[in-house]
Structure 1
Amino acid sequence: MGTAPDEDAAFAWYLKAAQQGYTKAYNIVATYYLDGTGTETNEVTAFDWFTKAAHFNIAEGCFHLARCYANAIGTQLDHEAAFQWYKKAVDLGYASACWNIGKCYTNGLGVKQSDEEAHKWYITAAETGDGRSKHLLAKRFESGFGIKKDLNMAFTWYLKAAEEGYLASCWQVGECYAKGIGIEPNKEEALKWYVQVAEQGNPWNQYNLARKYAEGDGIVKNDYEAFRWYLTAATQKHSDAQNYVGWCYGTGTGVEKNEAEAFNWYLLSANQGNSIAEANVGLYYRQGRGVEVNYTEALKWYCKSAEKGYEVAKTVITELANKGF
């Protein structure tokens, strides 16, 4: 892993090479200036180096120069120039720019608006590009945005992206199988794709899989598997998952009931600002579940939750006030 001194040294060498006319260093130097890597961030200087790279027919330089014009990075906003440089990038073999050209046609930025032309470019992007382009095309077919809605094509492109390992598409393939989107419903196939995503380690995906198991949403309901995936996500500090682990322990759902463990998990989640968990901590202090009764602590946690807008906590505070607490 690089250190700051390493980055400073790398930038210095790239800059020296670029100043001596080594054209392949132009785009790299521009990126360093844009990101503030090894040097101070300077969008104007980054734009200048991207311009030099583009004029020497460096495809990535053309693409980044187009993005500068499209987003007013180091220069004035100029959609027509952005469109022309995206086209130049594609002509030089930079396939990722195809999607950007499609967006230009969709929104009429620097070129006459045309859904038909946009779709052609999105197709080209998906056929020549990475999983992300395929995923985005699938979303367009699923939503019918700018094209005729076609769920079969949506599934086809989600699957192609998923087979390239694009995780968002892997999850969507699971959704398609679960809900019969462009394919016959198949709970076993849905589960296979959901698990494939969750096993990559992202706590949000693990939490989402837990919810699927808990609700029987597109897959067979399984409280034990739900708890297992809640716990997996919770150990990575996912606050919603921590709250649900507390709920599982508190209700004995998918795991042996244990009020003390429930309280501990609620508290972990509450300490991250989860409003529902804060209310649950208040409840446990109020009822002496897994912890000694403490009305002062209960009220404190209910107030924290209510301040975030959680209606249940607001109702309880009103009830406590009416009882003179």
Structure 2
Amino acid sequence: MANLKVVVTDYVFESFDLERGVLASVPADLVVLQASSASELIPHIDGVHALLNTYLPGMDATVFDAAPELRAVVRYGIGLDTIDVPAATERGIMVANVPDYCVDEVADHALAHFLNLARKISLADGRVKKGEWSLGYVKPLVGIADMTVGVIGFGRIGRAIASRLKPFGAGVVFHDPMVSETQDGCEAVSLEQIYTDCDAIFVQCPAVPETHHLLNREAFEAMAKRPILVNAARGSIVDTDAVVWALENDLIAGAGLDVLEDEHAVLETDHPLKAFENVTLTPHSAWYSAAAIRKLQQKAAEEVARALRGERPLSLANPEVLEK
């Protein structure tokens, strides 16, 4: 009997030895592509039994219909915004992700953005290197122990951020429509309370239609305490133009952004975000460490192997597909 076939749609990895080792037990062969679009991928997936997807968008009905033997799509990552889950479910295709591979990395990275902005490290560094030695550009400064910090999204990473903030003495509240009670000593509050009561706001919710541009002009106008904003979740949750507007109007004290709506628009133009001393930008690197990338590849391959063996993936995003 011929081996099953698994295709990597796109990648950021240096080696696929981990995947090949896991899939050999199925047995399944791995084909690695670096498609730049779904249309470029389609000619290569007839007869494919599973897809491993990194960042390539458009994993939808058109792609699925081009692979009639497709059993599973597994995302190298947490978010599922590249995959049309309802379309997959309709066709009996399992969708899975890896929700727990980089919790510490993202929490640490988000906290680093926050500490940098809260203590104005990058701003002061730039001024000192220009020959300016003064407290003037550091003021005003709120001590972290005197802050109330809000976390939007209280899943694994949101809770990890909260646990890191507690030793600094900050009060931590959170908003999550799926969590209505106090957890880990953190009070559940409304989104409006996050905006009005917090000195810093961490965005750590999933990118779904309901959270698109959740942080918009209206939200920034409601922020009463000129908070620091940190987004290490998804770029689409925060309206980039609204962030610029909020900074220009002194409605927020700064922004630490690991994700952007359109990184190319920021990188390839004279974008106003790059002009602010109180903005720090990182290239969606919050998730990365050598250990995290190994864990991601291993766990994604294991989810594919489970699906191909007829088992339920541990992180199945569409359990209703099992009823089909």
TM-score normalized with structure 1 length:
0.24
Q: Which structure's relative contact order is higher, taking Cα pairs within 8 Å and 6+ residues apart?
A: 2
Give 1 or 2: higher strand fraction: 2
Structure exhibiting the larger radius of gyration computed from Cα positions? 1
TM-score normalized with structure 2 length:
0.24
